[in-house]
Amino acid sequence: MKKTIQIPLGSQHISLLEPIRFKFECENETIIGVDADVGFVHRGVELACTRSFEFKQVGYVVARVCGLCAITHSLAYTLAAEKLLGYVANDRIKYLRMLMVELDRIHSHLLCLAHTAENAGFEALFMQIMGDRELVMEVQEAISGNRVQFDYICIGGVNRDLTSELCDLVRKNLMILSEKVEVLIGLFDNNWSLSLKYKGIGVLSLEDAYTYNALGPLARASGLATDVRAETSDFPYEALGYTMIVESTGDIHARNFVRLREIVNSIAMCRNIVDNLPMGEIQEKVKGKPKGEEIVRIEAPRGELFYLVRGNGANILERVRIKTPTFSGIPAMMEVFKGSQYADAPAILASFDPCMSCTAK
């Protein structure tokens, strides 16, 4: 007689924001086997980039891959295209791009923390964090002119400049936010009932993180020091006070803490950017057509985002390949589920911060 039962989670489930299906093989309450299916929101973005749109327009198309890290996607594509065209952006453009990416990281991490809280059964904390997240959204809306689809980065620069009033708004809102994040850190660290749901649950060991190639906060929570920001030199992160945040326990609590401390680090970097913004043009003319092949790696909020762009000297590109952090992290995620309780699955899943529309694109 079969001793295990199969319980599906998804593709539609109360704890999921986006469609993903996990098939859990359970022995009583313990999960012993996992199978994942992610292709529910495939939209054919990669093909559209090489058929319907010219290379100057593709930056706006890939921004629609994901609502949360729209700016990271368009930045990764733009960097690849600029490398093909032989253009190097000036310091002001680099700083403005970094500012938006870091703001993006802050609000994405806050969303993930809110979701982890909600899926562990803390609705009020979810509301509180989402309320605090508005501070960052407000700044991004004021800078780029839109709340979600920023369309801020274009080939050869950025579309809008940072005025002194905007600088003041950034400083003011980040000041309020940093106080709120301090309170959240205390709450996530000391609250007894939160620790029941988070501490020692969903553990990914350092060896497993290596074996299954974990990335982003998932890897850093297990003690694996990997961050594209430290590995590439496209942006002057070191000069702006970037520190790699690494935890050692590898459970949900550690992942939350990596995110919280990264928010603190990002806030400090954003302040540095606003205070030390160099002078220069915000948009420069880039001539030519992309020819050749280029790869770009960018640290998205969830981990390494990989872009391959190939052009043959025509207006329309030959190939655009997008490898998103969630897709690369699936083997590690499946490993975490094994051995944990079925009831903890929603909270563990939320702590990965999976982005399905990125993965299926």
Partner 1 sequence: MFKAMVEAFKNLFKPVRTINYPAQEISLPNGYRGLIEHDHEACIYCDKCEKVCPPGAILFYQHEEGGKEYHYNPWLCIYCGECVRACPKPDEALWQSETKQQSGVKEDGVNEGWFVWEEACKESREAYAAAKKERKPKMKSEEPLCVS
| Dihedrals phi, psi of 213, to nearest 5 degrees | 55, 55
Please, which residue, 150 or 212, has the CB nearer to partner 1?
150
Taking the complex as a whole, the smallest distance from the CB of residue 158 to partner 1 amounts, in Å, to 12
Taking the complex as a whole, the smallest distance from the CB of residue 56 to partner 1 amounts, in Å, to 7
Taking the complex as a whole, the smallest distance from the CB of residue 321 to partner 1 amounts, in Å, to 20
Please, which residue, 151 or 293, has the CB nearer to partner 1?
151
Please, which residue, 144 or 265, has the CB nearer to partner 1?
144
Please, which residue, 98 or 135, has the CB nearer to partner 1?
135
Please, which residue, 25 or 46, has the CB nearer to partner 1?
46
CB 213 within 8 A of CB 230: no
Contacts with partner 1, residue ranges (CB under 8 A): 53, 56-57, 60-61, 131, 138, 141-142, 144-146, 149, 151, 154, 159-160
Rounded to the nearest 10°, the torsion over CA 52, 55, 56, 60 is 60
> Which residue from 330, 335, 318, 336 is spatially nearest to 358, judged by alpha carbons?
330
Cα within 13 Å of Cα(316), Cβ side: 8
Please, which residue, 187 or 230, has the CB nearer to partner 1?
187
Taking the complex as a whole, the smallest distance from the CB of residue 50 to partner 1 amounts, in Å, to 15
Long-range Cβ contacts of 293-298 (<8 Å, 24+ apart)? 294/80, 294/81, 294/83, 294/84, 295/80, 296/76, 296/77, 296/79, 296/80, 296/83, 296/234, 297/76, 297/228, 297/231, 297/232, 298/72, 298/75, 298/76, 298/79, 298/101, 298/228, 298/234
Taking the complex as a whole, the smallest distance from the CB of residue 270 to partner 1 amounts, in Å, to 18
Q: Which two tokens stand for residue 318?
A: 């030959």
Taking the complex as a whole, the smallest distance from the CB of residue 170 to partner 1 amounts, in Å, to 13
